[in-house]
């Protein structure tokens, strides 16, 4: 066999291979193939269960007097983020709804809190139920009576993000959050408490700054600080 024959054969193979790739719709098949192998994992980090407490006695503990000087120093650091939202990319739109048993007084303070976060322009909270792939917030109440051992503090509420993440084909990351008030105590139905719990739902963690709405003990604060806004921006405008 001659060299010429080999050359011809080689060209024929190259031509056939080229034709094969051009004529078969190989690339369209790729997503389907992937779809069969991706696994859906749901990272459900439980909402914060640590209690938010407020001093129920009028002598409001040593905390407020001790940290007066610390509060006056301007903090430029952003309010910390809940661990499970760190490094996540979340859409800024949330669909929210109230559980049926949420009384009017609680709905009102939640509505005020919603308005405060909407005013930032960073997030957009819309009434309604979203799809699994969309961010959602459920507003609720619960009943927890403090024991004698817990005297001096009452738990006002809890809230937090729950991150749902699907990887691979059709990937998405969504936050199905909750914000809840302890209906056993009327002190829980306060705008400042609703702002705090909604802050958790949106991904903010506790702040050491007494000016922050995310300070763990209720200070009656309803206005977001620059640090609170910076925290939100780091989640939704990253």
Decide: is 52 part of the binding site for Zn ion (CB under 5 A).
Answer: yes
Decide: is 155 part of the binding site for Zn ion (CB under 5 A).
Answer: no
Q: Where does residue 230 rank: exposed (0-12), middle (13-18), buried (19+ CB within 10 A)?
A: middle
The distance of closest approach from Cβ of residue 157 to Zn ion in the complex, given in angstroms and rounded to an integer, is 8
The distance of closest approach from Cβ of residue 103 to Zn ion in the complex, given in angstroms and rounded to an integer, is 21
Of 45-53, 84-92, 123-131, 163-171, the segment contacting Zn ion by CB under 5 A is: 45-53
Decide: is 218 part of the binding site for Zn ion (CB under 5 A).
Answer: no
**Interface size with Zn ion, residues (CB under 5 A):** 1
The distance of closest approach from Cβ of residue 150 to Zn ion in the complex, given in angstroms and rounded to an integer, is 16
Residue at shortest CB range from Zn ion: 52
Of 17-25, 46-54, 87-95, 176-184, the segment contacting Zn ion by CB under 5 A is: 46-54
Nearer to Zn ion, 174 or 195 (CB): 195
Q: Which residues bind Zn ion (CB under 5 A)?
A: 52
């Amino acid at each position: 066999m001659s060299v010429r024959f080999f050359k011809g054969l080689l060209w024929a193979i190259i031509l056939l291979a080229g034709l094969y790739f051009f004529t078969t719709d190989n690339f369209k098949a790729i997503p389907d193939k992937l779809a069969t192998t991706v696994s859906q994992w749901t990272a459900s980090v439980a909402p914060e269960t640590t209690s938010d407490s407020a001093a129920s006695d009028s002598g409001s503990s040593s905390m407020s007097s001790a940290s007066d000087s610390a509060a006056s120093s301007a903090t430029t650091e952003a309010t910390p983020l809940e661990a499970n939202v760190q490094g996540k990319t979340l859409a800024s739109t949330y669909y929210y709804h109230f559980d049926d048993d949420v009384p009017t007084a609680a709905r009102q303070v939640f509505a005020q809190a919603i308005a405060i976060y909407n005013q930032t322009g960073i997030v957009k909270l819309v009434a309604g139920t979203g799809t699994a792939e969309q961010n959602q917030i459920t507003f609720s109440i619960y009943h927890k009576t403090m024991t004698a051992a817990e005297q001096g503090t009452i738990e006002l509420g809890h809230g937090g993000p729950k991150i749902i993440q699907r990887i691979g084909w059709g990937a998405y990351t969504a936050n199905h959050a909750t914000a809840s008030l302890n209906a056993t105590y009327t002190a829980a139905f306060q705008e400042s408490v609703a702002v705090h719990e909604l802050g958790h739902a949106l991904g903010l963690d506790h702040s050491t700054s007494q000016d922050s709405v995310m300070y763990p003990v209720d200070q009656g604060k309803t206005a977001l600080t620059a640090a609170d806004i910076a925290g939100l921006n780091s989640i939704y405008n990253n």
